[in-house]
């Protein structure tokens, strides 16, 4: 028996192969039975002609419930009308497991219904397209840094200290001690950068986000590069080059999937250098000129980001936010110490912030004072302060949320569909 994956049947044209999969759909007309078989790599139409199968096999196939598993053997016939260009002319069917009545039908289902059945929903062609795109995004992100001599340094998940403020921390009982699920690998990447120069991590991060928005998960994946001797301008160059490269790679690998999702490919093709760069101050002016009141000093909300980014056909980089609105580790702008040397990259088409980063405070005393100003306990940060005690250098980095990137690239409204098993305020199952 020659086994074949549906994505590779072209190599077996006119040969007899066996395809192992699940029944995605079926219909019959007279002596003909059409089975849509899905094997994970694709879906193929398999045609049975009544006289060529034992009667009981034909009957069983004719009534086989959706998602039953089966192995079909037959000849691979080129057929212009078949999706994929080939159909299988069935000679034999082995039934593996007959499915119970499948809850997900072609009719419209609500999102809550589908999310409750996420383990099954993942079998649909739309979810396949999203997950394959996600896999390509992750591969493109990793290759970008691997190919440029960054060293992968995995950050821990259990951490003693807050990186992104204390309001979104998940506490964990750790043998009687209280530790936290990591909000960001950044502080560890800073240690990595002092040891290896250019490093990155990619892993799950956690935030106790109490609000329900289309951009927030409580568990999401982030890729975080960190580079020694890099300043804010260099960090923006890196972020820009990285985003352009990832978008290009995904367009190359996943055009078919993006088309299935109905994505406007042209909008992604315009993601080229240079990205516009505006200061926080200019962004506030812009918002006001567009009739959106904004208090100088406040961080931007989702709505502000959407409005700002809608002015451009590619991501916009907003830099130098007021330090008071940002995390403790950011370096003040020597030209105007009210401002932080930070950058947010905002995606167009309403997707908002996909990257946050900047230059880090590298002076021991200033950093210690900032930790105290933010009301953080200094003890858990002593190791971090060591990085400023032993050969401190200017350094910078950023974090990009994988799900935000996938949502934008796929043109999906809510990030919940961009991760296999989303975790949100009111969802920790399945
Ligand atoms: O802007 P954030 O909070 O930055 C940091 O965590 C830095 N320590 C990163 C660094 O400099 N190494 O988060 C970075 C990115 C955001 O731009 C967004 O893409 C994503 O992480 N993100 C989330 N994605 C989904 N759900 C959430 N709750 C997210 N919070 C942040
Ligand atoms: Mg941010």
Query: Taking the domains of the chain in order of start, what are their residue ranges?
Result: 6-97, 118-417
- Portion of the chain with pLDDT greater than 90, in percent: 96
- Span from the CA of 241 to the centroid of ligand 1 (angstroms): 19
Can you tell me the distance from the alpha carbon of 293 to that of 289, in angstroms, rounded to the nearest whole number? Answer: 9
Q: With 80 as the cut, is the pLDDT of residue 290 above it?
A: yes
Rounded to a whole number of angstroms, the CA Rg of the chain reads: 26
What is residue 12's predicted lDDT score, i.e. its pLDDT? Answer: 97
Q: Of all protein residues, whose CA lies closest to atom 4 belonging to ligand 1?
A: 356
Q: Give the ligand 1 atom nearest the CA of 185.
A: 12
Q: Of all protein residues, whose CA lies closest to atom 13 belonging to ligand 1?
A: 356
Can you tell me the distance from the alpha carbon of 422 to that of 430, in angstroms, rounded to the nearest whole number? Answer: 9
- Portion of the chain with pLDDT greater than 70, in percent: 100
In this structure, are residues 328 and 373 in contact, taking their beta carbons and an 8 Å threshold?
Answer: yes
* 219 CB within 6 A, ligand 1: no
Q: With 80 as the cut, is the pLDDT of residue 112 above it?
A: yes
- Structure confidence at residue 89 as a pLDDT band (50, 70, 90): very high
Q: With 80 as the cut, is the pLDDT of residue 83 above it?
A: no
- Span from the CA of 355 to the centroid of ligand 2 (angstroms): 7
* 217 CB within 6 A, ligand 1: yes
- Span from the CA of 202 to the centroid of ligand 1 (angstroms): 12
Which of 113-117, 322-326, 363-367 is the least confident region? Answer: 322-326
pTM for the complete prediction? Answer: 0.97
* 352 CB within 6 A, ligand 1: no
Query: Can you read off the two tokens belonging to residue 240?
Result: 């820009």
* 190 CB within 6 A, ligand 1: no
Query: Can you read off the two tokens belonging to residue 393?
Result: 């250098």
What is residue 328's predicted lDDT score, i.e. its pLDDT? Answer: 97
pLDDT 10s digits, 165-179: 999 999 999 999 999
What is residue 81's predicted lDDT score, i.e. its pLDDT? Answer: 86
Domains 6-97 and 118-417 share a fold: no
- Which helix H or strand E contains 201, and what residues bound it? strand 198-206
- Strand arrangement, sheet containing 171-174: 158-159, 177-181, 171-174
Can you tell me the distance from the alpha carbon of 271 to that of 251, in angstroms, rounded to the nearest whole number? Answer: 11
Can you tell me the distance from the alpha carbon of 51 to that of 56, in angstroms, rounded to the nearest whole number? Answer: 11
Class of domain 118-417: alpha beta
Alpha helices per DSSP H over 67-181: 111-116, 118-121, 125-146
pLDDT 10s digits, 47-58: 999 999 999 999
The DSSP 8-state label assigned to residue 410 in this structure reads H
Q: Give the ligand 1 atom nearest the CA of 222.
A: 21
What is residue 107's predicted lDDT score, i.e. its pLDDT? Answer: 85
What is residue 137's predicted lDDT score, i.e. its pLDDT? Answer: 98
Smallest CA-to-CA distance from 349 within 424, 288, 242, 271 is with: 271
- Span from the CA of 401 to the centroid of ligand 1 (angstroms): 6
* 216 CB within 6 A, ligand 1: yes
Say whether domain 6-97 belongs to CATH 1.10.10.10: no
In this structure, are residues 341 and 236 in contact, taking their beta carbons and an 8 Å threshold?
Answer: no
Q: Average pLDDT in the 413-427 region?
A: 96
Contacts with 328 (C-beta within 8 Å, 6 or more apart), sequence order: 367, 370, 371, 373, 374, 376
Q: Average pLDDT in the 264-275 region?
A: 98
pLDDT 10s digits, 199-256: 999 999 999 999 889 999 999 999 999 999 999 999 999 999 999 999 999 999 999 9
- Structure confidence at residue 337 as a pLDDT band (50, 70, 90): very high
């Amino acid at each position: 028996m020659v086994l074949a994956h549906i994505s590779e049947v072209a190599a077996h044209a006119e040969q007899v192969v066996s395809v192992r999969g699940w029944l995605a759909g079926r219909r019959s007309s007279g002596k003909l039975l059409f089975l849509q078989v899905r094997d994970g790599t694709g879906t193929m139409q398999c045609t049975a002609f009544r006289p060529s199968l034992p009667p009981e096999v034909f009957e069983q196939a004719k009534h086989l419930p959706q998602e039953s598993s089966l192995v079909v053997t037959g000849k691979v016939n080129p057929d212009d009308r078949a999706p994929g260009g080939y159909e299988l002319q069935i000679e034999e069917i082995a039934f593996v497991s007959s499915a119970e009545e499948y809850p997900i039908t072609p009719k419209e289902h609500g999102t809550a219904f589908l999310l409750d059945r996420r383990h099954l929903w993942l079998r649909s062609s739309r979810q396949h397209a999203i997950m394959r795109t996600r896999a390509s995004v992750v591969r493109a992100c990793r290759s970008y840094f691997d190919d440029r001599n960054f060293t992968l340094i995995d950050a821990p998940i259990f951490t003693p200290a807050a990186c992104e403020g204390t309001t979104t921390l998940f506490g964990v009982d750790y043998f009687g001690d209280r530790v936290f699920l990591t909000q960001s690998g950044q502080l560890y990447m800073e240690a990595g950068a002092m040891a290896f120069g250019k490093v990155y991590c990619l892993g799950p991060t956690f935030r106790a986000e109490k609000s329900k928005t289309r951009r927030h998960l409580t568990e999401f994946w982030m890729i975080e590069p960190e580079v020694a001797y890099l300043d804010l301008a260099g960090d923006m160059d890196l972020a820009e080059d990285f985003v352009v490269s990832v978008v290009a790679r995904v367009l190359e690998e996943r055009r078919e999937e993006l088309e299935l999702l109905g994505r406007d490919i042209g909008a992604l093709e315009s993601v080229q250098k240079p990205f516009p760069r505006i200061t926080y101050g200019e962004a506030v002016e812009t918002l006001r000129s567009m009739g959106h009141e904004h208090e100088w000093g406040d961080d931007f909300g989702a709505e502000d980001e959407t409005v700002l980014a809608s002015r451009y056909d590619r991501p916009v980089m907003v830099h130098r936010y007021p330090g008071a609105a940002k995390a403790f580790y950011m370096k003040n702008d020597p030209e105007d110490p009210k401002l932080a040397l930070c950058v947010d990259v905002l995606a167009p088409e309403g997707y908002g912030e996909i990257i946050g980063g900047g230059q880090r405070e590298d002076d021991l005393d200033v950093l210690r004072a900032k930790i105290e100003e933010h009301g953080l306990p200094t003890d858990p940060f002593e190791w971090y302060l060591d990085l400023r005690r032993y050969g401190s250098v200017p350094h910078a980095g950023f974090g990009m949320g994988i799900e935000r990137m996938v949502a934008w690239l796929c043109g999906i409204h809510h990030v919940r569909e961009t991760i296999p098993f989303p975790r949100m305020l009111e969802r920790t199952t399945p």
